[in-house]
Amino acid sequence: MRLLLVEDDAVIAHELVLRWERHQWTVEAVGTLQAADAALAHRAVDLVVLDLGLPDGDGLRWLAQLRRTDRKTPVLVLTARDRVVDRVEGLRTGADDYLVKPFAVEELDARVEVLTRRAQRTREDCVQYGRLSWFGNEGRVDIAGQPLVLLPREFEVLGLLVRRAPRLVPKRALIDALAERNLELSDSAAEVYVSRLRRKLTGSGLAIRTLRGFGYVLEAEALP
């Protein structure tokens, strides 16, 4: 887990870095917004912990700017600004959580864990295979960056196949998984959806192979 700590109070920063490194988290601590920009340009992080009063500007304004290009990276604001209006503004600006100083480090740790767990789940909800990207949260599929138009059941079937790819998805597992999502599918309907999907994937570099009596495999074809 990789954290970016934006905090100009050297004592707090030092303590948090020591503590989080003991948790085996990778922490990069910076004391200015400019250094925060540089750190994020360099590599993605799982969470930003952001102080607001920083020597080269206001953390909230920086957060608003960040949210124009990055809506996903979780940000936890850590600040002495404790008025309700400050917290509301922080959350509205795009903070995922807000903790007021002075704080209990155990509480901060717990909140960091919640946010990164959530981010982890979001990541799991985006699966890539070959030229295909499947975005569970958004109900969207791209092939080489181009959207693929699918009906809801086709989307779910493809999601199951891509998560397992290039391994076999037994037909029974496919039907059961759809039933869990309240998308009832009969045995023969499963075949219909798979064959429709297969048609839609034509020319995409991906193919669904049927293993008679077993199930389906999504395979990436060698591209010419």
Residues 29-58 that bind Ca ion (CB under 5 A): 51, 53
By beta-carbon proximity to Ca ion, the closer residue of 77 and 206 is 77
- What are residue 15's phi and psi, to 5 degrees? -65, -45
Question: Which is closer to Ca ion, CB of 8 or CB of 219?
Answer: 8
Comparing CB distances to Ca ion, the nearer of 53 and 170 is: 53
Phi, psi of 54 (to 5 degrees): -125, 155
Q: Would you tell me the crossing angle of helices 59-69 and 33-42 to the nearest 10 degrees?
A: 20
What is the identity of the amino acid at 139?
G
Any contact of residue 5 with Ca ion (CB under 5 A)? no
Q: Does 78 bind Ca ion (CB under 5 A)?
A: no
Q: How far is the CB of 28 from Ca ion (least distance, A)?
A: 17
Specify the residue, 51 or 96, whose C-beta has the smaller distance to Ca ion. Answer: 51
Q: How many CA atoms lie within 13 A of 112 on its CB side?
A: 25
Give me 141's structure tokens.
């599929």
Verify binding: residue 28, Ca ion, rule CB under 5 A: no
Residues near Ca ion, by CB under 5 A: 8, 51, 53
